[in-house]
Each structure stands twice: as structure tokens, then as C-alpha cells.
Amino acid sequence: MRSRFRSDRRLTVRMGLTLFLLGLLYVGFVAALIVLLKSWLLVVVLIGAMFVAQFWFSDRIAMFAMRGRVVEREEYPELHAVVDRLCAIADMPKPVVAVSAMDMPNAFATGRNPDHAVVCVTTGLLRRLEPAELEGVLAHELSHVAHKDVAVITIASFLGVIAGLIVRFAFYSQLFGGGRRDQNTALVFVTVMGVSAAVYALSFLLIRALSRYRELAADRAAAQLTGRPSALASALTKVTGDIARIPTKDLRTAQAFNAFYFTPAIGKEPGIERFFSTHPTLEQRLAQLGRMSVELGEAARPGAASEGH
């Protein structure tokens, strides 16, 4: 069944290109691992097992890390009502609804496909947002599910995670066992570290570029579905401002999942690191929503968020 979230061809092309380029890196990376471990069977088993674990259980991993739990309609009737309404408008399966007991206002979607997806909001978000703002945020997260970019980011992140682990493994193995190895073995370790570091750096850049675009695409899709770009803009402004007031040290755990969040957990105004951010700047997102508000004639349609599409 096709969702009524408007398709984004540019997002689809970017997702395909990112996976293709990462696939090329993946082939070279596996070849390097085979040289290191001298067993293609062991490499295939290890990589395959870790991929299955991350892809099939990514929702559980994210929920555990962010202290999220599934909530029933009786416990959060208003939250379920908003998700029900948006899913009906978008003509898509309803995801599992979860809440994280965190004061940081945020939301995220995870899962391998629309039939196995989770949308989670924090208690801090529920407490701070007005109903129209919450609807905009949830529409944003549902668009990630409908466009399947959550699954793509999960797959794309896998290679970077493995490459980072191999760099650490090779580094510490060489550091603590270097005296017991001959020159050829040491050269293999250095080579694998170099290849892994290059793979990690390239995958890091590719994932960030895709992640920034998919956030803009989700903002567009949410604004088109609800018909109220200003409500989403208001939520963005409010959430970003509140997160900026949280000390950086209190956000460190959450920052590992920035690529999945509605707004990144950044405790201060980013400097040069904005070029490596998982999200476009607040100014870029607000400018896009401002243009959409004019295009949709929002001022003339105050009840647009409740209309069917």
C-alpha cells in the first residue's frame, strides 16, 4: 500500500546513491577483513550476524538506549489519537507508539519498514508542545517511516559502526601485542587500520549528507500532509531553544542517536561542526517552512491540519 505522504524523488535518488557508494566501500572493507582474519567464512559470519542484529533489532536498541517504552491508548489517549488521525490521512500502517521518560524535548522514528516501525516521543516534548505543534512533529517522524529513510540510515550506519570497531581492535591489538609480531603482520594491521579509518570517514560524510537532506524532506512532507507549516516551525523553534539550554554534559548519551532525532541534541550554537551535523541548521528549516506557508496559503486555511488529503 502506498502512503499519501508525497513522494520525494530527490530523496529516493540520494538514498540509492548513498547505498551504492557505501556498497562499494563495503566490498573493499570486507576484502581488508579477509586479509586480516585469513578466513572469508569467519568474516561473512561475523559481518552477517552483526548486520542482522542491528537491522532487525535497531528499534529495540534505540528504545533501550533512550529509555523508551511502548504505551497503550489508555495511558496516552491524546498521543494515540494524533497518531491515528495522521496515519488515516496518510493511509499508512500505524506504528508502535512509545514514550521516553526524558526531559529533553525530542522525538524519533525507528524500525526496518512501515509494518515494523516505532515512533517515540519524550515526556519533555509532550509537556512543552501545543496540540498543533505535536501533530507537526509526529507527521515529520511518520514521513521518515513512509519514505523508508529510517531503514536506509540504519543500513548506512552499520558500515561505519563496523569500521570504527575494527579501527579500535586493530589499534589496541598492535599497541599491546606489537612486540610479538613480525614486520609483515604489523604492516597488515597498519593497512587494515588505514582502510577502516578511510571507510569510517567516507561513510561518516555520506551519512551526514543524506541525513541533512532527509530532515528537510521530512519537514516538507509533514507540512504538506498537515497543511500547517507554521505549527511545525513553531515546534522546531521551541524544541531547539529548549535543548540549547540543556548542559552539553547532560546530552552526551543522547547525541549518539542524533541522526534519528527530530532535532539534534546540541547544547550550544554549533560552529564548524555544523558542516558535519546530521541536521540542517534551524535557519534552513525555518526558511523552507516559511516558503511553504506562503505556497500553501496557510493564512487563508487555518483549519488545514484537520482536513483530509
Q: List the binding residues.
A: 140, 144, 215
Query: Alpha-carbon distance 115 to 93, whole Å?
Result: 6
Virtual CA dihedral for 250, 253, 254, 260, nearest 10 degrees? 170
Binding site for Zn(2+): what residues are annotated? 140, 144, 215
Strands of the sheet containing 116-122, edge to edge, are 68-70, 96-100, 116-122, 107-113
Altogether, the residues listed in the chain come to a count of 309
Query: Alpha-carbon distance 142 to 93, whole Å?
Result: 10
**Residue 141 is among the residues annotated as catalytic for this protein:** yes
Q: Which of 75, 78, 130, 141 is catalytic?
A: 141
- For 280, other C-beta atoms within 10 Å of its C-beta total 17
Helix, strand, coil tally for the chain in percent (to 5): 70, 5, 20
Positions annotated as catalytic residues are 141
